[in-house]
Each structure stands twice: as structure tokens, then as C-alpha cells.
């Protein structure tokens, strides 16, 4: 559905994107994650035809965004960070205007508006002026206009920014439902947003793709953690002798017991060797486990690694 190749974009002397490459398959929900200024919004503006890249290409459903801007936009439902709502219009008047701009045939407009209102649960807000709606309902109206033409691709830029916790949960559920019939790409700098909605994440740092993987893959680590009942002399030297061990770091577990985080080379499972060594040496091991990583720890590793 999306193919991005060697994408670059600068604003004067500031290079916003450098050699960005990724692909998104039909039906995926992908989070574009990164700190403020990482280049997330720039990528979205290029994909939606609001900006032209300095180099590289971006394709949506096989169409070059730069060469086929209008045809591409016709296949995209887009909700920018600040939805362009007309507060003096009623919700229904606004959706009728969007249907006209989207060139939805007159005989289909009422059905499309009804479906979008039902999907976003704003049916009882159709006659109210948008300016009288709460922030959460205005965001729903923005989502309704994005899905009005039944697009194949939905792109959301910070869809829950400024919402309270209850509204955030509601919008997340709504996006999950919308993804049942459309590919979804959304940008955010909120880690919990990605964990709640996505199977896959693309992490941007300083305009570059630093990670592109499924969440399950990011959480997988060859490293292991060994927690002992009591300290053992020279244990780090012995741990370093295990095949595949790259480093050993001592730390104190949350309940105060001596623990060791053991980094290993890829495709290595240290747990059997740690269990065997503990038995041979008579160590009182409280726990031997794989060192599971969270999205937060992966993000922090990338942020601090330059």
C-alpha cells in the first residue's frame, strides 16, 4: 500500500529526512514513532501530497505521489494534528461539504455520511454546530471526514493529542475498528499509543529510520538475567566464559537480590548454559530468564545511541 524509497527533505539548512525507506502492506496498522522534530509530520505531508520531497520517491497503492497527486489523495483519508473544522457549520453540513469536495456521487452522499457518523458514533451530534462540541467529539468529526469516501489508506497525525484519558481510549477503539477495512498509518510520540494499537512500529530519530519491526520482534532479545539468593565471588569472570556471552552487567533487583544482565550474540539462548553452570557451581539461583525488552527500553536505547 505504501512504498517509500530514499526519501529526503530539507527546510533550508535543516535536513528533516535522510534516506528514509519503508514499505507498508495492505491491512497493516503501523505506528510512526519518534520524538518531536523527528520527521514524522514531514513524511505524512509528503505521502498526502502537501509537500514534495527533495529526493527519493513515495508511492501509495502503486501511484507515485508526486506525479499523481490528485489520484493518490483520492485514495487517502487524512486527519492532520489540527483538523480543519469549520466551527460555524453543523456536523452534518460539514460532512456534506467534505462529500462534495471528495466528489462523492450525490446519490451516495447520504449513505456515506450515515456510515461515517455511525462508525465514529456522532449520530446524535449531526445537527449541533461543531464549535459547540467537546474536543473529543470534534476529533471524531475529523475522523468521520477522513473515512467518508471509504479510503483504502487512513493517515492520522497525532490523533489523540490534547484529549483526556477517557477520550484517548475511545479514539483508540475507533481506530481499531476503522482498521478492519483500511490500512492505517499514524504518527505519535506516545509509546503507549503504539503498544495499544499497532503490531508494527517504524521509529524515526533525527529524520532517519532507526528501527522498523513488529513489536514482538523488538521485544525479543538474546540477553538473559540471572538473579541469585546471595552474592558469589568472581561470578562475572565465570559468566563471561560461556559461549556467546558478550558482556555482563551487575545490578540489584527490585527486591534487593544480586542480579546480572548478560548480553549475548544474536540467535543465542543463554538460559540452558546458565542453569547448568549454576548447578555445577552450587549457586542458589532465584531466577534465570530471557531479558524481555519493552518498547520504552528499545526507544531509549536508540535515543541514547546517537
Tell me the HSE value of 87 on the side-chain side, using a 13 A CA sphere.
Answer: 6
> In the structure, what pLDDT confidence band is assigned to residue 254 with cuts at 50, 70 and 90?
confident
- Which 8-state DSSP code applies to residue 61? T
pLDDT in tens, 168-184: 888 888 888 888 888 99
CB count, 10 Å around CB of 119?
A: 18
pLDDT in tens, 8-44: 999 999 999 999 999 999 889 999 988 888 999 999 9
Q: Give the predicted TM-score (pTM) of the model.
A: 0.78
Tell me the HSE value of 121 on the side-chain side, using a 13 A CA sphere.
Answer: 10
Please report which helix (H) or strand (E) contains residue 213, including its range.
Answer: strand 208-214
Residues 6 or more apart whose CB falls under 8 angstroms from that of 14 comprise: none
> In the structure, what pLDDT confidence band is assigned to residue 78 with cuts at 50, 70 and 90?
very high
> In the structure, what pLDDT confidence band is assigned to residue 199 with cuts at 50, 70 and 90?
confident
Helix boundaries (H) for the chain: 40-47, 69-73, 91-101, 106-119, 135-147, 165-178, 191-197, 215-219, 235-240, 271-281, 295-304
pLDDT in tens, 93-140: 999 999 999 999 999 999 999 999 998 889 999 999 999 998 889 988
Beta-bridged to residue 200, according to DSSP, are 30, 214
Residues 6 or more apart whose CB falls under 8 angstroms from that of 150 comprise: 112, 181, 182
- Phi, psi (rounded to 5 degrees) for 276: -65, -45
Q: What average pLDDT does the segment 41-65 reach?
A: 94
Beta-bridged to residue 201, according to DSSP, are 31, 213
Residues 6 or more apart whose CB falls under 8 angstroms from that of 34 comprise: 40, 187, 189, 203, 204, 205
Please report which helix (H) or strand (E) contains residue 226, including its range.
Answer: strand 224-228
CB count, 10 Å around CB of 216?
A: 9
- Determine the length of the chain: 306
Arithmetic mean of pLDDT over the chain:
89
Q: What average pLDDT does the segment 253-276 reach?
A: 86
DSSP helix/strand/coil, 191: helix
User: What pLDDT is recorded for position 93?
Assistant: 96
> In the structure, what pLDDT confidence band is assigned to residue 251 with cuts at 50, 70 and 90?
confident
Rounded Cα distance between 54 and 16, Å, is: 10
DSSP helix/strand/coil, 23: strand
Residues 6 or more apart whose CB falls under 8 angstroms from that of 28 comprise: 1, 183, 184, 199, 200
Amino acid at each position: 500500500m505504501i512504498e517509500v524509497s530514499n526519501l529526503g527533505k530539507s527546510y533550508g539548512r535543516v535536513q528533516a529526512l535522510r534516506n528514509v525507506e519503508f514499505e507498508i502492506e495492505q491491512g497493516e496498522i503501523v505506528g510512526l514513532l519518534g520524538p518531536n522534530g523527528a520527521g514524522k509530520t514531514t513524511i505524512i505531508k509528503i505521502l498526502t501530497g502537501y509537500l514534495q520531497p527533495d529526493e527519493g520517491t513515495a508511492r501509495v497503492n502503486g501511484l507515485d505521489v508526486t506525479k499523481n497527486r490528485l489520484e493518490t489523495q483520492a485514495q487517502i483519508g487524512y486527519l492532520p494534528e489540527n483538523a480543519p473544522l469549520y466551527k460555524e457549520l453543523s456536523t452534518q453540513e460539514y460532512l456534506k461539504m467534505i462529500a462534495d469536495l471528495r466528489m462523492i456521487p450525490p446519490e451516495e452522499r447520504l449513505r456515506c455520511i450515515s456510515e461515517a457518523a455511525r462508525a465514529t458514533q456522532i449520530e446524535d451530534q449531526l445537527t449541533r454546530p461543531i464549535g459547540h462540541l467537546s474536543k473529543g467529539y470534534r476529533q471524531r468529526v475529523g475522523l468521520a471526514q477522513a473515512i467518508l469516501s471509504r479510503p483504502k489508506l487512513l493517515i492520522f497525525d497525532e490523533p489523540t493529542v490534547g484529549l483526556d484519558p477517557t477520550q484517548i481510549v475511545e479514539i483508540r477503539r475507533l481506530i481499531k475498528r476503522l482498521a478492519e477495512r483500511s490500512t492505517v498509518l499514524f504518527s505519535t510520540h506516545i509509546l503507549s499509543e503504539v503498544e495499544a494499537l499497532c503490531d508494527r512500529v517504524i521509529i524515526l530519530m533525527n529524520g532517519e529510520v532507526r528501527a522498523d519491526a513488529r513489536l514482538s520482534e523488538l521485544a525479543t532479545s538474546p540477553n538473559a538475567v540471572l538473579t541469585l539468593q546471595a552474592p558469589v565471588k568472581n561470578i562475572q569472570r565465570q559468566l563471561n566464559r560461556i559461549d556467546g556471552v558478550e558482556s555482563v552487567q551487575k545490578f540489584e533487583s527490585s527486591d534487593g537480590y544480586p542480579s546480572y544482565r548478560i548480553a549475548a550474540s544474536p540467535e543465542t539462548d543463554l538460559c540452558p548454559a546458565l542453569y547448568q553452570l549454576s548447578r555445577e557451581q552450587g549457586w542458589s539461583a532465584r531466577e534465570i530468564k530471557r531479558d524481555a525488552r519493552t518498547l520504552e527500553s528499545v526507544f531509549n536505547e536508540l535515543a541514547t545511541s546517537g
